[in-house]
Chains A and B, each alone.
Chain A
Amino acid sequence: MIMPLINGLRITLKHLFKKPVTLQYPTEKAPIAPGFRGLHALNVSHDKAKCVACYLCPTVCPAKCITVEAGEDQNHDKYASKYEIDMLRCIFCGYCVEACPVDAIRMTETFELANYSRADFTYTKERLLEKK
């Protein structure tokens, strides 16, 4: 009856001298795994977004969080005049990246997406392009 009690004390004492596993979060961050799906970013080629507004990503998106509107530029090429992702609805499944035929969208390693207002969760084309 007494031995298990002493054993318990021994185990806790042993743990006292172990290195704590706690990460001091804002100052220390856990390593991000390869293939991590964080905030989206639009890829750029020749100083403009690669997106051709094919509507494959809003079609495949299970959360229906992507809004795309197509426009025509001065070279008569189709481009996304509006590309918005509602981060409050996004489930970070990465289907949009998989569906994209021109490799125009990717997912970054940013995961700290807290904001103060609902409007700030709508990521417009400009904000998505800022992510290099």
Chain B
Amino acid sequence: MDTLILGLPVAYYIAMVAKVLVAFVFVLLTVAYATYAERKIIGHMQVRLGPMRTGWHGLLQPIADGVKLFFKEEIVPAQASTFAFLIAPLVALVPAFISFAVIPFGDTVTVAGYKVPLQIAGYYDEIGHQVFDVNVGVLYILAMASLGVYGIVLAGWSSNSKYSLLGGLRSAAQMISYELAAGLAIVAVFMLSESLSLQKIVADQSGAIWNWYAFKQPLAFIIFFICSLAEINRTPFDLPEAETELVSGFCTEYSSMKYAMFFMAEYANMVTVCAVTVTLFLGGWHGPAFLPSWCWFIAKVYFLIFVCMWIRATYPRYRYDQLMALGWKFFLPLTLVNVVVTGIIVTVMK
């Protein structure tokens, strides 16, 4: 009956593959509908309606946009560096999605008598009765987050357009400035969790709501979230795109699916960053038991995505010098102080 592969039933492997597929498709759908949600939410915040014509209340708008972009003409500028120009959207898009491999989006589920953790890069140890995952999960996420900027820099450079180049340069500078503060903000979390494994960090936040690191480390939470907004080039830090100054920044010269890929990368980054913030600070998938764990995770991520859009509808873009000053003169010292204070408190409490 049950064919075993390496001592595990086929159903287990099917469950593992299904987990990957469901997670990926769900993230893709979230990305598609994040564009719709953004237009709707910002529309209503500006007392407008947003998309209304394609489908009921414009629900088919992301599909219409996708189909339209798919059939647009591919344009490669005559003087562009073709290979880098073609590879840049991929370099931007892929890291945005693969960060999801290490994010735990739910508790374990039982398939064919085996427990499968709802985390793509994780497995349940039947002997030790605990979930193992990448033990440097946060480092992996930070690495992938910084890889994404290469796509933008490559796009800016290879387009051979001054607007694109300026957008790319801004992106690089912004990334370096805010990566530091974001990294230092997470350091305070590590000092409490004493682990880089996301499963361990989530497990530490189980139980009551005040166990969330957002309440133990409110400063780190706020700074990490703001720095993440800057890292993924969202308003009020969307200087690389800055359509009022740089046409469309790094993606000025892009068209068709290549442009769509940058667009997807931007929203996928937003989803990823919200998921990381939920995992690190908002208790991951923990929540009252009346809903399954993954529901809580999705609800928290969607709430943060809403906050991103809310911020976009509220604040104007920062000026370049303001952005740099905020990163280097304000967030970096604050996070350093936060690390020192956390260190003192952790030592004293022991």
Instruction: Out of A9, A19, A20, name the residue touching B310 (CB < 8 Å).
Output: A9
Is A8 touching B314 in the complex (CB atoms < 8 A)?
A: yes
Contacts of B45 in A (CB 8 A): 12-13, 15-16
Is A12 touching B48 in the complex (CB atoms < 8 A)?
A: no
Query: Is A75 an interface residue, CB under 8 A from the partner?
Result: no
Instruction: Out of A5, A21, A22, name the residue touching B315 (CB < 8 Å).
Output: A5
- Bound complex: CA A15 to CA B315 (Å): 14
Contacts of A22 in B (CB 8 A): 47-49
Query: Is A24 an interface residue, CB under 8 A from the partner?
Result: yes
Query: Is A18 an interface residue, CB under 8 A from the partner?
Result: yes
Residue of chain B at shortest CB distance from A17: B44
Query: Is B41 an interface residue, CB under 8 A from the partner?
Result: yes
Query: Is B313 an interface residue, CB under 8 A from the partner?
Result: yes
Is B44 touching A15 in the complex (CB atoms < 8 A)?
A: yes
Contacts of B313 in A (CB 8 A): 12
Shortest CB–CB separation between residue A54 and chain B, in angstroms? 49
Instruction: Out of B48, B311, B314, B315, name the residue touching A20 (CB < 8 Å).
Output: B48
Contacts of B311 in A (CB 8 A): 9
Q: Which of B46, B48, B52, B314 has the most CB of A within 10 A?
A: B314
Known interface pairs A5-B315, A20-B48, A22-B48; A12-B43 also in contact (CB < 8 Å) = no
**Using an 8 Å CB-CB cutoff, how does the interface string of B301-341 with A read, 1 for contact, 0 for none?**
00000000011011100000000000000000000000000
Instruction: Out of B44, B52, B315, name the residue touching A16 (CB < 8 Å).
Output: B44
Size of the A side of the interface (Cβ < 8 Å), in residues, is 14
Contacts of A20 in B (CB 8 A): 43-44, 47-49
Is A21 touching B47 in the complex (CB atoms < 8 A)?
A: yes
- Bound complex: CA A5 to CA B236 (Å): 12
Q: Which of A5, A19, A22 has the most CB of B within 10 A?
A: A22
- Bound complex: CA A100 to CA B269 (Å): 68
**Using an 8 Å CB-CB cutoff, how does the interface string of B33-45 with A read, 1 for contact, 0 for none?**
0000000010111
Contacts of B310 in A (CB 8 A): 9, 12-13
- Bound complex: CA A16 to CA B310 (Å): 9
Residue of chain A at shortest CB distance from B316: A8
Question: For chain A residues 52-88, which have a beta carbon within 8 Å of chain B?
Answer: none
- Bound complex: CA A9 to CA B313 (Å): 9
Residue of chain B at shortest CB distance from A7: B314
Shortest CB–CB separation between residue A23 and chain B, in angstroms? 9
Is A15 touching B52 in the complex (CB atoms < 8 A)?
A: no
Q: List 17 A-B contacts (CB under 8 A).
A: A5-B315, A8-B314, A9-B310, A9-B314, A12-B310, A12-B314, A13-B45, A15-B46, A16-B41, A16-B45, A18-B47, A20-B43, A20-B48, A21-B48, A22-B48, A22-B49, A24-B49
Closest 9 CB pairs of A and B: A22-B49, A12-B314, A8-B314, A12-B45, A20-B49, A16-B45, A12-B313, A15-B45, A22-B48
